[in-house]
Structures are given as C-alpha cells and as structure tokens.
Structure 1
C-alpha cells in the first residue's frame, strides 16, 4: 500500500520555496499549485489509495513518530477531518487566486504556513501535534497583519499573538494535566465537569473557546481581522476559528455550557454590529455571530447538531471569505471600507456587488444558498431537543444577520448615493479605469458558485458529514417561514434606510476590560514607576557615599592604610541590607 502524504506538510514546506522562484509567472503558477496538490492528496485518500477510511468515529491512522516515551500521530484520518480538509484546500485555492496581485512573497509564505498548519491540526491524532500546529497558526496571522505595515495593523498583530499565546498556555496546561491523570496523549473526547479533578479539561476548553472567538473572548477577532491587508484578512477568516470548532467537536461535544454560550453569542454580536462603520469590522462581528451557531451545535451534542455545526463551519468558510473579498475589493480599489466615506460604487463595481450579494444571501440563510442547508440543521436540532430559548435565539439571529450583512453593508458601499463625497474618493470615482482586478473577481466567482451549488444540491455535503443525515432542509413550512421573515425585515430596512448610513463611530467591545487597564498599567510603568525608581537610585547613591565618607579616615595619610577585612564586609553588608529594605 502506498504511504500517505500529509497535505498540510506539502503546503507548509512548499510555501517556503515561493521567494526563491525568479520567474513571476512560474511563481504564481506554483502558488496556485500548492492547494491543488493538497486537494489531489485528499481525493486519493477518499478513493482508498492509502487505505479505507472507516465509519465515524473510527479513523485511519498514519504517520507515527516516536517522541520521548510517546508516539506522535500526524495523520488521523476520519470523516470529520476529511470534510474539513476538503473545504480548507478548496478555500485556499480561491484565496490564492484572489491574492495573485500581492507583490510580497513572504505574505504568500505566511499564508501557506497558515493553511498547512491548519491541516496539520485537523489531522493530528495526539495532543502534542495538535498543540504544535496551533502554535504555528498563532504566528502566521501575526505576519499577515504585520505585512500591511500600518501602525494599527502592527498593534493588532501584537494583540493577536498575546491572545493566542494565552490560549496556548491554557491548552498546554490542560494537556499536561491530562497526561498526568491518564498517561495518554491521544486526542479523544474529554470529560468535563466542575471541581479540581476537571481543572485541566476546563483549561483546555478555555483555550479552544478563545481560539473559536466565543463570547466573551471574541474581541480579538473584530480587532485583528479588519486590520490585515485585503488578501491577508481572507485567510484569517477561514482557519483559526474553524479549527477550534473542529477541536470542540472532537473533545467537548455535548457540553451544555457551550450550547448557551453559542446561542447568546449569535445574538450578542449583532448588537455590536449595529453602529459599526467599517465594512470589514461589520463582517467580523457576523463571523462571531455565525460561530455562535457552531458552538451551540457542539453544545447540543446530538448527531444532527454535530452535523449542523460541522456543515455550518464548512459553509461559513466559503461564504464568509466571499463577503470579505467583496469588502476587500472596495478597500483595494478605493482605499477605504468606511461607510461614511463610500456609496454609489455600483456603477463602477457591479460584478463585485452581485458576487457579494451571493455571500450575503448565504450567510442570511436564504433558501437555495449554502447557509440555509447548514444553519437550519442546528436550529432544528435545538427544536427537537425541546430547547425553546436556544431555538428562539438562533432563529432571531438569522433576521439580524440579513439586516446587517445582506442589506446595510451593500447599501452603504455600493448603492447609497452621496451628495459630496470626500475629495480623494471623488477623484477615484471619476476615474473611468476604476474596476475590480480580474483575479479578485475570479476568486469571488468560484466561491459564489460553490455557495449556490451546495445550496441547490445539499446531498453532496451531507454525504461527507460524520453522522448519517436524515434532515430535509426544503420543507414548505421552513422555506415559507424564513422567506416571510426576510420580507418583513427588508420592508423595515427600506422604511428606515436613511438611518442606517455610516457614522464615524468606534464600537466598544469586551476587550475594553483588558485594554484600558493594560494601557494604564503601561503608562504607570513608563512614567511614575520609572521616576520613582530614579528617585530611589539617586538617594541610595547619596546614602552610600555618606556611609563611605563616614568610615574614611579624616587624615589623608591614613586613607591608604590597609583595614581589616571585617570592616569592608560590614560596609558592604550595610549597603546591601539598605537595598533589601527599600526594594523588598
């Protein structure tokens, strides 16, 4: 039997060769070839070339490496990891097409390291390999943010690393406690509860919750995703949070706490998006809201809910990348995504508008789009479990998503006319050559086609999910009710459309409780604490000189006279004791 080739390793190592290819055309072709190579490996794996994939939850085990007294497993292949792997490489291909005009080769390297480490995490069969891949995933977005070069992007990059290193410390502490309790490093379903015996598992759960941007630990996402370059932000929308959802499914499915956190998050993020003035930040809040559906599905824990969480994660990668591409087009062409500085771009960028609307209909859950076939599964699972409050929260969040992403954002960027746009925007709008680059439109077109194709033929996705799917999305009651909600939401928006224009505001988020005390602490260290330290240093030196002058002989001829060792030791001891008293 042919030995399995790790698709993540191919993409990860292959990315480092990009800067050394001299020909621009060869370099771009190679850049597109990397995800195609990963997709080819996954297709061969599904065909059984490397061995048959057993039914869920069993797995095909590959690539064992000895490590200390343990065995690292780099290739645990099951139905869940395969479906995540497929979407990861397909999305990477579309993103690479979108990013073809990027001149910085090292940004391509960071992106491929990001994709490769994400694949490494979902195929990891042990906790050490998982932790190692998650740590790489925390550094790749740091460089994607840094390469934009702005002061805000650099600050966001540092905050991203701090958040994810904190989550990494929690995960590592949980792993070590788990090994101490069980002696095993296998990545399996973990027990959960309250008490000292579950401390390690709660720390591990906290790390995954932070990585998935679950409320109240979601603020890093809206803070960082909107600061990356138009192409860099596309990669960031897909991998970190969805890999965390995969980890939650594998380790903590059925934890009721997650059900409530996810349902509340789905609605809470919509309130934060109400006054948002930046198109990409608004999309970021809707990422957080949609993650709430996935986390709630993991918490419900039934086979239908797990299928719903997994399918929604996969569909979300596709349509959310499409949404970010649409907002990124405005940023790339005009130079801003602020609502108060945009409007009337439809006559200059009509194709990007319609492609964006496919993503808007998908995230809203319109019938015949992929968001409908995945989101309804989680909502149905909550209803069947007789959780009325969870059902109402998830159903209500659907309307808010349509109002913001499907109506507010395209209205403010493409459709709303402005009497007096800013001079710099006005000059660009008068440029007849203004248009979206063709590679961006191709990348968006592929993703839009997938949104429609999966929405019309859901059985293709359902066949890949871990559990057998008996859910039927297209029922008369469901289609009629959701269409009715969208019609009333549109009527309300149209009546109040003049009130949803952009205002130069900044949305306060939960990171305020971390950033404001942290900022004050840094200021305290920079000014009062340093001044106090300088004051102590000067006065201690004065005291030291005074002590030395006291023990010196007043007769100059006697100053060079040797003294007993005890006197010198006494002086040193006295000075050292004074330091201890003051500083300790």
Structure 2
C-alpha cells in the first residue's frame, strides 16, 4: 500500500497526528517519519505513475523520475536532520507544522500535474506560516502575517496561471512551458515569488529570521528549493531566468554584507544561492541543469548546517546581532567547527559539497559561450566567501571577545550539526554519489588542477580583501532598508493618509450637501409644500382629464406609426 501513495503523505499525516501522541512517543515518531519517507522515496520506481481522473483532467500526484528522487531524498534527509535538531523544542505545534511542511515539499517533488502541485504547494504555504507563528521571537506575529499575505498572493497568481493554461491547452500536465502566453507568465511569476526573486524577495529576510532557533532550519530548506524544482521541470532554458538569477546573486550579496543580524545575513545568503540555481536553469544545457539541481541538493545541507549553528548560538545566548557576539569559539567548539564547515561549503571550498556543485553552473555558462555570465558568477563566488564564508563565522565566533561563555547546545542539536557537516564533506570528497542522482549523465570532473587552483586563488584574495577592509566590514546597530519597507513602513502610513484624506473629503461633501440643501429648501417648500402647486390636493375631475389627454396623445403617436 505504501508504494501506491505519494511519499509526502507519510510526513503530512504523521505531522497531523503528532499533537495527539503521548509525550514519550513524539521523539521516536518524529525521527521515524523522515526515514520512512526516505524509504518510500527509494521504493518508487523511476517509471512509476499514479493517474486519477478529476473534472475531466487526469491528476498524477505521483510520478517517479531522477529529479523527483533527487529532491525527495534531500528533503527527507533535511527533515530528519531538522527534526533531530528540534527534539528539545517544547512547542508541539511548530514540530507538527514542520513535518507537514516537509511532506508538502516531498509531494511537490513527485507531482506530475499542475493541480496536484498546487495542492501540495498550498499545504507548504499554510504549514510554513504556522511554523513561523509558533516562534518565540517578538516579531514573529507580524512577520508571519506578511509572509502569509505574500504567499497567498503567490498562490493566487499561480492558480490563475494554471487555470488559464488548462483552458487554453486543455492539459494540466507539469511539463516544459514556453513563455508565449499570459498563463505561462503567471505560473512563472507565482513560482518566482516562492523562489525569492525580485521584486518580492525581501520576504525571505523579513520572515525567516523571526522563526525559532529550529524553525528557520526548516524554513530555509523547502520553499525556495521547491520553487527551483518547478523551474527545472517547467522553465528550463528560459533566458529571462539568467537575468533574474544574476540579480538575485548580487542582491543577496549586497544586503548580506550590510547586515548586522547573523540570521538575516544567512537569509539574504539564501536568495544569493538560489540565484545561482535560477541562472543555471536559465542557461538550460544539461550541464547547467545538472549544476542547478546538484547545487540545490548541496545548498539545502550546508545552509541547514549554517542555520543550525546560528540557531544554537541564539538558543544558548538569546542574542542574534553580530555586535553582541564574538569569542564564542572558546566555549562552543562543536558549534564553531560545524559553522566553519558550513561556511566553507557555501564558499565552494575544495573537499566540500559546494565545490563540486556550484562550479557546474559556471561550466554550463562557458559551454554556451556566455563568458560574461561566467565572469559574473565568479565575482559572485568571491562575494559569497566575503559574507557567508568569512563574515558570519568571524563576527559570531571570533572577532573581539563579547564576554559570553555559553556551552554547546544539547546533544540532539550537536548530533544534527555533526550529521550535516559529515554530509557536506562526504559529498565534497565523493561527488560521484551526488552525480549519480542527477537527471542527466554527468561528464564533469571537479578536481582538475586548473579548477582547484583557480578556486583557491579566488577564495584567498577574497579573504585578503575582507581583512584589509575589516574596519569597513565591522557592523553597527543599523537597519537595512529593503523593498519590504514599501509595505511595512510606507504602505501602512500611506494607507492611513489616504483614509484621512477620504474622511476629510467625505466631511467636506457632507457640508456641501447640507449647504445646497439649505439653499434649495425654500423653493422646494414653495412648489412641493402643502400649499404648493405640486404638493396640494387636486380634484378628481382634473386627474381624469389629464389621464384622457395622455391616452389621446398615445393613440395619436401609435396611429402615425
């Protein structure tokens, strides 16, 4: 029976049942669900398919394939690691919602039609909002509301595109779409909003850092990467995505360098890294698509590791700004080591997962003679090392001593970090294990002397630039204004100003109406009052004469016709 169901349902149903379980059973239940899901994913044959008829269309909530297995596998791995990291989390609502959220992502990975995709997509939106609202951070409530509004907007745009596509083509199959109709553009817009693409990309840094120490680990893994998965399936080779991806790459770097909040640094880094994937999808060659898919796999793991280290710091110190931290390596050696491994992986350091995945996107650009794209991606790689590879670990774990001496977090959190750190290094050492899961055959060798030397030179000079410019890199207690300022600060104030203007206009109209009424009232009383021509009683005979006159006029007009 389990082979005949979408694997994501295991996590969804298990998450729904979690709150009713006794307390002693919750931990083993939560750890077992991702492992059962992973087993179910690998039990799905690559050519498997489930077809259900619905309103004249055929739904395919389960279809095997290399891409589905790749993303399903990493989603299940991340849900296990995230659950292990969250075992000490007392809020059961957050844990249940996180499992449902992960299940929605796995469901999207195996969906082969647009309706099934939309259903799992909205499950993710609702569950991730609950994860955010379950946080103990002071800004979680308002951030969650903004997050919900934007994702409901994205879902509405996506649904409008799906409906338009179904009407115009008579098909809801999730396959390659060409951008030759408004419906296709609406689908692309709804997907790009979830990917954190401009202009509505600020929700990532607005919402994610307000989650709990464990909630942000889940949030970082699924929404944006599910959007990457859909782009891989539906819009591979769309040239516009090259420009969108490059914008995301440099936008994320710029804001991450300006940030003082360690979790906002890593949130902007999500946008930056997803930009590499989107750019690879836009290039559209097999090499570039393999690079985008493998980088999504690697990114989920090393970004989860980085956010676990940041979550551990938040949990043990209660602080999240770089100006309040520093010197934590003295008392948090495991957290520091794992954070450094994650920083090296995101910077594509040799022998880490980022090195064997990110470079494939650049190789794909060179294969299409897009030299300017390759140069931009190389420059962006240096920027990644500046903000995530050096800035985050330096200001959080090193720099000047803050005087804080927190211990490493509890055992489950340490085990989760160690697990992801091992995976990041293992993939970097044995990339063939990852390459075997990719959708196209891989003819790429990352460990060539030229590639290794070039990458080490890039990282070396980026690191040198960081320490030379260290006085400029030091953060102050400032707030970075992003596009969300338009609807967080300007929008409400503009709405209040317009409402006040409307009230004033209404009051003015009311006064004008009263003045006009006072001016015409005497005339109306004269004509329509008790003694007025139109107000006093008329004799019945006069009424009969008038009726007969009107009847005669009607007869004459009818006779002429």
The TM-score normalised by the length of structure 1 is 0.86
> Would you say how many aligned residue pairs link Structure 1 and Structure 2?
531
Partner of 1:53 in structure 2? 46
Partner of 1:21 in structure 2? 21
**Superposed CA offset, 1:329-349 (max 9, x none):** 111111111011111111111
Out of 220, 224, 229, the residue aligned to residue 246 of structure 1 is 229
Partner of 1:31 in structure 2? 30
Alignment partners' CA distance in 1, 2:65 and 2:503: 56
**Superposed CA offset, 1:134-192 (max 9, x none):** 11211112111111255521111111112112221221111111111111111111112
Alignment of 1:299-314 (within 5 A): 299-314=282-297
Partner of 1:316 in structure 2? 299
Alignment of 1:144-223 (within 5 A): 144-193=131-180, 198-223=181-206
Partner of 1:385 in structure 2? 368
Out of 220, 226, 231, the residue aligned to residue 214 of structure 2 is 231
Alignment partners' CA distance in 1, 2:315 and 2:288: 39
Alignment of 1:396-407 (within 5 A): 396-407=379-390
Alignment partners' CA distance in 2, 1:40 and 1:548: 84
Alignment partners' CA distance in 1, 2:510 and 2:133: 39
Alignment of 1:414-429 (within 5 A): 414-418=397-401, 421=402, 429=404
Partner of 1:360 in structure 2? 343
**Alpha-carbon deviation of 1:529?**
3.3
**Alpha-carbon deviation of 1:554?**
11
Alignment partners' CA distance in 2, 1:348 and 1:149: 25
Give yes or no for the alignment of 1:468 onto 2:441: yes
User: Is the partner of 2:221 in helix, strand or coil?
Assistant: coil
Partner of 1:507 in structure 2? 480
Would the aligned equivalents of 1:141 and 1:157 in 2 still touch at CA under 8 Å? no
**Alpha-carbon deviation of 1:507?**
1.3
Would the aligned equivalents of 1:230 and 1:328 in 2 still touch at CA under 8 Å? yes
- Unaligned 5+ segments in structure 2 are 531-536, 538-561
**Alpha-carbon deviation of 1:217?**
2.8
Alignment partners' CA distance in 1, 2:344 and 2:151: 32
Would the aligned equivalents of 2:338 and 2:417 in 1 still touch at CA under 8 Å? yes
Larger radius of gyration: 2
Would the aligned equivalents of 1:267 and 1:394 in 2 still touch at CA under 8 Å? no
Alignment partners' CA distance in 1, 2:493 and 2:398: 43
**Alpha-carbon deviation of 1:65?**
2.7
Would the aligned equivalents of 2:52 and 2:60 in 1 still touch at CA under 8 Å? yes
Alignment partners' CA distance in 2, 1:411 and 1:464: 35
Partner of 2:240 in structure 1? 257
Partner of 1:42 in structure 2? 41
**Superposed CA offset, 1:29-50 (max 9, x none):** 11111111101112323xxxxx
Change (3 A) 1:522 1:505: same
User: Is the partner of 1:258 in helix, strand or coil?
Assistant: helix
Partner of 1:292 in structure 2? 275
**Alpha-carbon deviation of 1:4?**
2.3
**Cα-Cα RMSD:** 2.5
**Alpha-carbon deviation of 1:252?**
0.6
Partner of 2:10 in structure 1? 10
Would the aligned equivalents of 1:81 and 1:122 in 2 still touch at CA under 8 Å? yes
Partner of 2:555 in structure 1? none
Alignment partners' CA distance in 2, 1:110 and 1:537: 51
Alignment partners' CA distance in 2, 1:547 and 1:73: 71
Change (3 A) 1:176 1:328: same
User: Is the partner of 2:327 in helix, strand or coil?
Assistant: coil
Change (3 A) 1:536 1:107: farther
Alignment partners' CA distance in 1, 2:517 and 2:407: 73
**Superposed CA offset, 1:309-339 (max 9, x none):** 0000010000001111111111111111101
Would the aligned equivalents of 1:267 and 1:393 in 2 still touch at CA under 8 Å? no
Would the aligned equivalents of 2:157 and 2:187 in 1 still touch at CA under 8 Å? yes
**Alpha-carbon deviation of 1:208?**
1.0
Moved more, 1-10 or 409-418: 1-10
Would the aligned equivalents of 1:211 and 1:240 in 2 still touch at CA under 8 Å? yes
Moved more, 184-193 or 457-466: 184-193
Alignment partners' CA distance in 2, 1:439 and 1:498: 38
**Alpha-carbon deviation of 1:273?**
1.6
**Superposed CA offset, 1:335-367 (max 9, x none):** 111011111111111110000111100000001
Partner of 2:263 in structure 1? 280
User: Is the partner of 2:258 in helix, strand or coil?
Assistant: coil
Would the aligned equivalents of 1:345 and 1:414 in 2 still touch at CA under 8 Å? yes
Partner of 2:451 in structure 1? 478
Alignment partners' CA distance in 2, 1:285 and 1:231: 18
